[in-house]
Amino acid sequence: MILTSLESILFASSKPIAISSLKKILSVSDEVLHEAIASVKERFNVETSGIHIVEHEGKIQFVTNPSQTELIAALLREETSGELTRPSVETLTIIAYRGPITKPEIEQIRGVNCTLIIRNLLMRGLIDEMDDVERLQPVYTVSTNFVRHLGLHDLSELPDFDELHQSEKITELMESLGDSEA
């Protein structure tokens, strides 16, 4: 059971996870966790697996097989080139006008899951992700590259920025997320 839980957590995470955090999440001893990690490495870190585990500086993460670097690079180039989709533009607009903002808040405003869109915007360098200790989850803001690309000096130069940044309707919608989580 611990192997299944460990694999699920590693698969769902978009960034390296501290082994100390895994120990707490899984409620296991150091010995049990290290045995599980070794078992998962033994299963995945083989040439015939497309997924490998990297362990570095007390953190672990699922990554693609290093032998597939060129294929993955081509895929990522394709994903990050071309025009943005309408959902990507909507998400980027929400982040620009309401950031710093969490993923659940973005999803509350849009009404749909935004995981892949946020990933794509991060890969394109249009948004930045930062940990927020008060909210206990990452928050998103537009990147300096985004602001520079639009030819702005500051986000306040966006059309109707003050009105939309402080919109009571949007604030109420975002606050309803907190009410539903309580």
Q: pLDDT (tens digit, 9 = 90+) per residue, 73-114?
A: 777 676 666 788 899 989 998 999 888 999 999 998 888 999
Using only C-alpha atoms, what is the Rg of the chain?
Answer: 20
Residue closest to 102 by CA, chosen among 145, 134, 147, 61: 134
Residue whose pair of structure tokens reads 């045995």 in the numeric block: 35
Q: What is the pTM of this model?
A: 0.55
Q: What class does CATH assign to 86-181?
A: mainly alpha
Any idea where the domains of the chain sit in the sequence? 2-68, 86-181
Q: Give the pLDDT band (50/70/90) at residue 161.
A: confident
Q: Which value, to the nearest 10 degrees, does the dihedral of the CA atoms of residues 87, 93, 182, 179 take?
A: -110
If DSSP codes are grouped into helix, strand and coil, which group holds residue 16? Answer: coil
Own/partner pairs, 62-66, CB within 8 angstroms, 24+ separation: 62/10, 62/11, 62/13
pLDDT confidence of residue 170: 63
Mean pLDDT of 49-70: 89
Tell which CATH classification among 1.10.10.10, 1.10.3660.10, 3.90.1150.10, 3.10.20.30 matches the domain 2-68: 1.10.10.10
What average pLDDT score do residues 153-173 get? 72
Main-chain dihedrals φ then ψ at residue 58, nearest 5 degrees: 75, 15
Q: Give the residue carrying structure tokens 């294929």.
A: 71
The domains spanning 2-68 and 86-181 adopt the same CATH topology: yes
